[in-house]
Each structure stands twice: as structure tokens, then as C-alpha cells.
């Protein structure tokens, strides 16, 4: 039987965490373990999880583990959970999202039937904002196979929808703990530059949005973090030429947007730095065609 460890990082999500955990316990394929890494919560998170049985004890089907750390960010919490996991497969879940029944089962079946032996599977999703179901934009359309070009624009894989073979982290490393946001964009970019993904075209998660503590609402200029990730991938010496050209074009586009935003915010020094970087990448793009 394929074993799955579920990793849930959380921080002050007492209003969401119980329903999130219950959606895992209701799966048709029981997880081997559910590991919750509390990233320094100061609300009632611990009390709620304690009532649910998260005391590092075993139930007949699933081990429930609670790990507390001082606040270090979502990447640190998620990475700690992954490193503690015991199973062959790792399923990620954000503490404000929910799984629909059969999510784990269908992903395990997808892995077993995949003749290409791909190591990352994600699914379609339902979006709920402030309690109301909303439609996704075309730019958020999910797909399988080679998704690198799609990953350049924005995060096209939701962490809560993913299941990965644990060897992925051995080969690609973990989530970048220097990133306060867009750490998922960074990871999928690294992975998709080398390997393809499995996609289940069926909504198997509910992705919640609209609450004030979401990272996209906390940080201005999210493209700052995406540019950082694009620079990282462009420094990879073995990046395919067509990927390199596409990534350079995308980083130039994101820099133009950020330069305009920085100038409006009167961040003149930062805007000047971006202009210099933009010139560098424009020169690099020309060299790609001249070499």
C-alpha cells in the first residue's frame, strides 16, 4: 500500500485549522501521518489541535503529529514537516484550504498508472473567496506535462493540490526560506525546468482566499520575489536555451511592471537598480540570438 504523509504548516489559523484537518481525516485513502508544523501561533491553534488528538500519538489509521517552532515563515515550517515525514509520498496542504474526498486516492492511482514515472501530481481546484465560489481567470488554467512556460507567469500549481515523491526534495532541494512569499512559484519553477508533472483535471481541493493574513495581501510588489526566483533559474548553467529565452523575456516584463510601480511609490533607488538589471537581461537576450 502506498503511504502518504500530509504536511500542514500553519500560523494563527485557529478559524480554519479544524476544518482543514477534518478534510484530511475524511479521505477515502487514510494518510500514514498528518504533520502540522505550527510556525509560532499565538491564537487558539494549539488548543484546537490538542482536542483533535495532535499529541504525537497513533490512531488506528493515522499518526497525528504537532510540531511547534518560533515564527520563521511558511517555507521553514513546510520544510521542517517534509524532513520529518516518514512516507514515500508527500502531500502538501495549506491550513486555510480543504481537500475533497478521494483526493489522496486519485493521486496515488495517477502515480501508479503513469508510465512516464513523473514525480509530481497536482489537481484542478475550486476557488472560494470570502465564502463565495468564484471563477478562475484564464491565466490560472492548470495543465500537466511540460508546464515551465506556464510557471514563468505566476504560480500555476497550488501547494494544497500537490503530491510529490519524497525523492523530489532530495534532487531539487526544499522551499526557499529566504522568500517571505512566492516560495511555491520558486519551487515549481525549479522543478518544471527539469521534469514534467501529472495533472488530474478534476477539482479535488477547495482553495480559500480573501482573508487579511494571506501573503499576497501582506507584501507589496509580489513580482520582486518572482524576479529573484527567475534570476536563480537563469543562473543554472544547464537551462535549456528555449527556457532561457522565455525566462529572460518574462523577467524583463516583470521588471518593467515593478519599475513603474517603484517610481509611483517614489522608490527611486530601487527603480534605478531595476533599470540596470533590466538592461543586463536585455543584453543577455540579444546574446542568446547572436551566439
| Per-residue model confidence as pLDDT tens digits over 43-69 | 999 999 999 888 654 455 688 999 999
Closest among 211, 160, 214 to 20, alpha carbons compared: 160
Burial class for 68, CB neighbours closer than 10 Å (0-12, 13-18, 19+): middle
Quick one: pLDDT at residue 57?
46
pLDDT over 90 (residue 201): yes
In this structure, of 128-132, 164-168, 233-237, the range with the lowest mean pLDDT score is 128-132
Share of the chain above pLDDT 90, in %: 85
Q: C-alpha angle 265/281/238, rounded to 5°? A: 130
Quick one: pLDDT at residue 105?
97
Quick one: pLDDT at residue 61?
67
Quick one: pLDDT at residue 140?
85
pLDDT over 80 (residue 219): no
Q: How many residues does the chain have?
A: 291
pLDDT over 80 (residue 214): no
pLDDT over 80 (residue 211): no
Mean pLDDT confidence for 70-98:
97
In this structure, of 148-157, 206-215, 250-259, the range with the lowest mean pLDDT score is 206-215
Question: pLDDT by residue (tens digit) across 222-236?
Answer: 999 999 999 999 999
Mean pLDDT confidence for 143-160:
95
Question: pLDDT by residue (tens digit) across 17-50?
Answer: 999 999 999 999 999 999 999 999 999 999 999 9
Over the chain, what is the mean pLDDT? 93
Q: What are the contacts of 45-48 at 24+ separation with CB within 8 A? A: 45/10, 45/12, 45/13, 45/14, 45/17, 48/14, 48/17, 48/18
Strand locations in 84-233, DSSP E? 89-92, 98-99, 120-129, 132-134, 163-165, 198-209
* pTM beyond cutoff 0.85: yes
Amino acid at each position: 500500500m502506498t503511504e502518504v504523509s500530509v504536511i500542514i504548516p500553519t500560523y494563527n489559523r485557529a478559524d480554519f485549522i479544524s476544518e482543514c484537518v477534518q478534510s484530511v481525516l475524511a479521505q477515502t485513502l487514510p494518510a500514514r501521518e498528518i504533520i502540522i508544523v505550527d510556525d509560532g501561533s499565538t491564537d487558539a491553534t494549539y488548543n484546537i489541535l490538542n482536542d483533535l488528538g495532535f499529541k504525537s500519538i497513533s490512531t488506528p489509521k493515522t499518526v497525528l503529529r504537532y510540531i511547534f517552532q518560533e515564527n520563521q515563515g511558511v517555507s521553514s515550517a513546510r520544510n521542517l514537516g517534509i524532513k520529518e515525514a516518514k512516507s514515500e509520498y508527500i502531500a502538501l496542504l495549506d491550513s486555510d484550504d480543504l481537500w475533497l474526498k478521494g483526493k489522496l486516492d486519485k493521486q496515488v492511482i495517477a502515480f501508479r498508472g503513469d508510465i512516464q514515472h513523473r514525480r509530481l501530481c497536482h489537481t484542478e481546484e475550486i476557488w472560494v473567496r470570502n465564502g463565495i465560489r468564484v471563477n478562475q481567470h484564464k491565466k490560472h488554467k492548470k495543465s500537466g506535462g511540460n508546464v515551465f512556460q506556464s510557471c514563468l507567469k505566476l504560480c500555476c500549481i497550488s501547494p494544497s493540490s500537490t503530491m510529490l515523491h519524497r525523492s523530489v526534495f532530495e534532487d531539487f532541494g526544499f522551499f526557499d526560506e529566504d522568500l517571505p512569499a512566492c516560495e511555491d512559484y520558486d519551487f515549481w519553477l525549479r522543478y518544471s525546468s527539469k521534469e514534467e508533472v501529472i495533472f488530474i483535471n478534476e477539482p479535488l481541493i477547495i482553495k480559500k482566499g480573501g482573508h487579511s493574513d494571506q501573503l499576497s495581501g501582506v507584501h507589496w510588489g509580489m513580482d520582486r520575489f518572482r524576479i529573484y526566483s527567475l534570476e536563480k533559474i537563469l543562473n543554472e548553467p544547464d537551462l535549456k536555451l528555449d527556457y532561457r529565452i522565455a525566462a529572460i523575456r518574462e523577467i524583463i516584463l516583470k521588471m518593467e511592471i515593478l519599475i513603474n510601480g517603484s517610481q509611483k511609490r517614489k522608490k527611486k533607488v530601487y527603480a534605478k537598480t531595476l533599470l540596470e538589471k533590466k538592461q543586463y537581461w536585455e543584453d543577455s537576450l540579444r546574446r542568446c540570438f547572436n551566439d
